[in-house]
Amino acid sequence: MTSESETEPAFNPYQSPNSPQQSATVPVAQPAVQPGLPVFCTVMFIISIICSLFKSVIILPGMTAFSDIIKAYDYHVLAYMDLIVQVVLIAIGIIGNVILLMKHRNAAIIGFTVSGFVIVACLTATWSTFNGPAMRQIAAEGPPEVLIVSYVSFAVVMAIRLALLALYTWAVILYDRWDRQRSMATLEPQSLPNDFQNSLGE
């Protein structure tokens, strides 16, 4: 026959009379499940890096004849701007997209900056194309068919650049939304009972 002391738990003077004898398990917040970066964003950022590297191979070697290029455009201020924008766009296109691929917070600002420089580059490229020495020579001496082909070629290239710009900008917008969702997932409490959450706030 078991004694009464063996069946009844010992009195604990430091325990609340309404609390159970065994300590309640305190719910632990589960780590936030962060949403993954959309594949479309990753693909567009990689394409932008490739385009910037390809542009660097074409443009940077020709920068050695900087003075000759400016002279061909009659030292117009937009000629300086076109060359400067192209160089800056190459640098920010490589570095900025690498930062985006590394998933830094608030990196969407860099992506929107890249889009802005692309717009400026399209405007300066339009001016330099129609005011460049090659186009002026074709307009003055060449047959009309060559001039028409030049205009059509420029229009096709510009349409492709604007299409890529639209896709890239949309990728940056998706990145910005993903970054905000990631921040919210980090800050929100994870699946805790209401009473326990209220006790944390007291």
Query: Which comes out higher in pLDDT, residue 87 or 50?
Result: 50
Query: Which comes out higher in pLDDT, residue 114 or 193?
Result: 114
Which has the closest alpha carbon to 138: 125, 154, 161?
154
Q: Is residue 43 part of a domain?
A: yes
**Each residue's pLDDT tens digit, 146-166:** 778 888 888 999 999 999 999
Could you tell me the residue range of the domain that residue 136 belongs to? 39-186
**Cβ neighbours for 134, distance < 8 A, ≥ 6 positions apart:** none
Q: What is the mean pLDDT of the chain?
A: 76
Q: Is residue 10 part of a domain?
A: no
Q: Calculate the alpha carbon distances from 57 to 9, 85, 157 in Å.
A: 82, 16, 18
pLDDT at 10: 56
pLDDT at 202: 47
pLDDT at 116: 93
Q: Is residue 9 part of a domain?
A: no
Q: Is residue 171 part of a domain?
A: yes
pLDDT at 134: 65
Confidence of residue 85 (pLDDT cuts 50, 70, 90): confident
3-state secondary structure at position 67: helix
**Each residue's pLDDT tens digit, 33-76:** 566 889 999 999 999 999 999 988 887 776 666 666 666 666 66
Q: Is residue 20 part of a domain?
A: no
Q: Any idea of the CA torsion for 148, 150, 152, 157, to the nearest 10 degrees?
A: -170
**Cβ neighbours for 145, distance < 8 A, ≥ 6 positions apart:** none
pTM of the model: 0.68
